């Protein structure tokens, strides 16, 4: 299941990068393209091991940069930092709580673009920045954060479809039935 989970996560990352570059409806509407990878990294780091986190950071980052004018490798670093940080404190995190998913999602989606921009600027890049960048960052943080519970729902559904059906044992036992009345 672990290998399958890794495969699903990588496949979703690939599709997510494609969707980000091909469908610009939200960009036309609010002027912002949401980054789908930080939220996916939150899911990956809460549900899988460090190998999956590393693979997602490297593959997701490289795929993103391949379709972007970013310097190649820029997007790997934020994803890796997010994944590694969550992995380190995984035992302290309430992994099943939607509230936790949201908080981690907001933090990751807000942090990733800031670190990516810092790396781009440190390498002498000239990204388009201004007051509007604040709005873009806010929208990326909020909408990206909201995606984490969606990813959890999505993967839970996929595993429910693919996995064995769980047998729910009833508390009622026929051999313990108390027969009442006159016999």
Partner 1 sequence: MKRRHYLLLAVVVVLTLVILNLSPRTATQFKLALGSLFLPLFGLAGSGQQVAEKAGNAVVPRKDLLKQIEQLRRENAELKVQLPRLAELERQNAHLSAQVGFKQSSRLNIKLARIIARDPANWWRNVQIDLGKRDGLRVDLPVRTAEGLVGRVSEVSETRARVVLLGDPTCPVSATVRDALNNVVDQGVIKSPAAVLDEIFVELNFLRNATAVKPGQLVVTSDEGGLFPKGIRIGEIVDVRPVDFGLVHVARVKLAVRMNALDDVWVMMP
Interface positions with partner 1 (CB under 8 A): 14-15, 17-18, 20-22, 24, 27-28, 31-33, 35, 50-51, 54, 57-58, 61-74, 76-77, 80, 84, 87-88, 113, 116-117, 119-120, 123, 126-133, 135-136, 140
What minimum distance in Å lies between the beta carbon of 125 and partner 1?
A: 9
Phi-psi region of 45 (alpha: psi -120 to 50; beta: other; left: phi over 0): alpha
Closer Cβ to partner 1, 49 or 159, answer by number: 49
149-159 burial, b at 16+ Cβ within 10 Å, e below that, comes to: bebbeebeeee
Judge whether 17 and 34 are in contact, CB under 8 Å: no
Give the integer Cα–Cα distance in Å for 42 and 107.
Answer: 10
Cα separation, 29 vs 26, whole angstroms: 5
Specify the residue, 122 or 170, whose C-beta has the smaller distance to partner 1.
122
Q: Which is nearer to partner 1, 116 or 152 (CB)?
A: 116
Nearer to partner 1, 6 or 152 (CB): 6
Compute the C-alpha angle 157/84/102, nearest 5°.
Answer: 45
């Amino acid at each position: 299941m672990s290998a399958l989970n890794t495969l699903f996560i990588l496949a979703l990352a690939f599709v997510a990068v494609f969707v980000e570059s091909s469908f610009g409806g939200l960009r036309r509407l609010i002027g912002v393209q949401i980054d789908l990878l930080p939220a996916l990294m939150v899911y990956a780091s809460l549900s899988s091991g460090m190998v999956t986190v590393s693979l997602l950071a490297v593959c997701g980052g490289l795929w993103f940069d391949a379709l972007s004018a970013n310097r190649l490798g820029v997007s790997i670093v934020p994803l890796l930092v997010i994944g590694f940080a969550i992995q380190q404190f995984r035992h302290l995190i309430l992994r099943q709580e939607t509230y936790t998913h949201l908080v981690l999602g907001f933090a990751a989606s807000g942090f990733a673009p800031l670190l990516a921009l810092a790396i781009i600027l440190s390498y002498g890049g000239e990204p388009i920045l201004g007051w509007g960048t604040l709005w873009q960052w806010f929208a990326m943080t909020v909408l990206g954060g909201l995606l984490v519970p969606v990813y959890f729902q999505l993967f839970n559904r996929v595993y429910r479809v693919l996995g064995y059906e769980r047998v729910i044992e009833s508390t009622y036992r026929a051999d313990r039935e108390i027969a009442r009345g006159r016999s």
